[in-house]
């Protein structure tokens, strides 16, 4: 089968063995390129084999499914409470980092990873369940509901997914975005576009950019006793404006990946949003490429100013 590898900080497409074993075989139909995939590529961060964690495909009987790309132990103190995202197994449980991921024609996953897709959502679109679940988890951790004014800082995929999740929770949502395609997508998802949010007296601000300037702007936009949700993937030191944080007595909430609240997984809630709001896929998916053109797809994914939001590989 065809599969992507990262070799010497280059994207290489070549032949790989068809996955074998007792886990469930999934024929990949869509695998999104995440910003963290680009960071891993550029940094040379070591991964197990095939990258890609935003995955959807079809079972052998044709059933479309999304994938929750983690295989936690299920027995540690965190797994028992539903916090599988911080399982003690660590990175080795993540498909696309510690296990072969979805930038291939097929992969095998544990049965627990399968996410049923709502009627009308096919596997070429279902990969959006994963980034949406990241936002759903953050919205849950921050306690966002319909009583709050929320600001999202950053108009990339996670920022736009955060808009979708927060508006689905009933919140009034503003968005700070840099590029025209992001602005258009934010409007499509129901956000009010604002320049900076400064002095906006927001209840919750979601930092979806992960830069020092974005974090400072987020704190400035919050009301006293407001909540700063750190939703961006941060690979460097996180800097906070100490005076604003202390003077306003801000609550800092950090969120990573996705877990479970009671009986409901964040990925299932994300699938529900995708099924209920057809504008989400239309707003987020900007480019589709065949797997053989993965190197070109990665280059396009870097061009935010040129309109790239979510770039997907389709084996």
pLDDT tens sequence across 172-191:
999 999 999 999 999 999 99
* Whether 94 contacts 85, CB under 8 Å: no
The whole domain housing 63 covers 2-131+258-314
Question: Domain of 158: which CATH number?
Answer: 3.40.50.720
281, containing H or E segment = helix 279-284
Q: What is the pLDDT of residue 238?
A: 83
Q: What is the pLDDT of residue 200?
A: 75
For residues 28 and 68, give the distance between their C-alpha atoms in angstroms, rounded to a whole number. 13
Q: What is the pLDDT of residue 225?
A: 97
Q: How confident is the model at residue 96 (pLDDT cuts 50, 70, 90)?
A: very high
pLDDT 10s digits, 44-93: 999 999 999 999 999 999 999 999 999 999 999 999 999 999 999 999 99
- Residue 280 and residue 238 share a domain: no
The residues pairing with 310 across neighbouring beta strands, listed in sequence order, are 285
Structure tokens at 204: 């919750």
- Residue 287 and residue 220 share a domain: no
Residue 1 has pLDDT above 90, yes or no: yes
Within 13 Å of residue 102, how many CA atoms lie on the same side as its CB? 35
Residues 6+ apart with CB under 8 A from 62: none
Q: What is the pLDDT of residue 210?
A: 87
Residue 99 has pLDDT above 90, yes or no: yes
pLDDT 10s digits, 222-271: 999 999 999 998 777 888 888 889 999 999 999 999 999 999 999 999 99
Residue 155: DSSP 8-state: -
- pTM of the complete model beyond 0.85: yes
**Cα distances (angstroms) measured from residue 92 to each of 22, 70, 200, 289:** 18, 9, 41, 28
- Residue 192 and residue 75 share a domain: no
Q: How confident is the model at residue 97 (pLDDT cuts 50, 70, 90)?
A: very high
- Residue 200 and residue 52 share a domain: no
- Residue 194 and residue 276 share a domain: no
Q: What is the pLDDT of residue 199?
A: 73
Gap between the terminal Cα atoms of the chain: 10
For residues 246 and 131, give the distance between their C-alpha atoms in angstroms, rounded to a whole number. 32
* 3-class state of residue 148 by DSSP: coil
Residue 112 has pLDDT above 80, yes or no: yes
- Residue 247 and residue 146 share a domain: yes
């Amino acid at each position: 089968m065809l599969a992507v590898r990262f070799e010497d900080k280059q994207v290489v497409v070549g032949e790989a063995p068809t996955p074998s074993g007792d886990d469930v075989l999934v024929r990949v139909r869509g695998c999104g390129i995440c910003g963290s995939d680009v960071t891993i590529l550029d940094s040379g961060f070591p991964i197990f084999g095939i990258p890609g964690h935003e995955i959807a495909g079809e079972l052998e009987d044709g059933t479309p499914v999304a994938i929750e790309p983690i295989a936690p132990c299920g027995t540690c103190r965190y797994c028992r409470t539903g916090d599988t995202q911080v399982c003690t197994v660590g990175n080795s449980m993540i498909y696309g980092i510690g296990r072969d991921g979805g930038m291939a024609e097929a992969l095998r996953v544990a049965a627990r990873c399968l996410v049923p897709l709502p009627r009308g959502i096919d596997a070429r679109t279902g990969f959006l369940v994963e980034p949406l679940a990241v936002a759903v988890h953050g919205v849950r951790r921050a306690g966002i509901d319909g009583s709050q004014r929320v600001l999202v800082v950053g108009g990339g995929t996670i920022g736009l997914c955060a808009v979708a999740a927060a508006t689905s929770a009933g919140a009034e949502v503003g968005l700070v975005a840099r590029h025209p395609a992001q602005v258009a997508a934010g409007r499509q998802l129901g956000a009010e576009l604002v320049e900076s949010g400064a002095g906006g007296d927001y209840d919750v601000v979601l930092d979806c950019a992960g830069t020092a300037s974005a974090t400072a702007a987020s704190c400035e936009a919050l009301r006293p006793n407001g909540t700063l949700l750190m939703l961006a993937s941060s690979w460097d030191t996180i800097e906070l404006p100490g005076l604003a944080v202390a003077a306003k007595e801000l609550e800092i909430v950090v969120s990573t990946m996705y877990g479970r609240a009671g009986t409901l997984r964040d990925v299932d809630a994300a699938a529900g949003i995708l099924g209920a709001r057809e504008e989400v896929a239309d707003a987020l998916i900007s480019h589709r490429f065949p797997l053989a053109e993965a190197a070109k797809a990665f280059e396009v994914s870097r061009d935010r100013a040129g309109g790239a939001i979510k770039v997907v590989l389709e084996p």
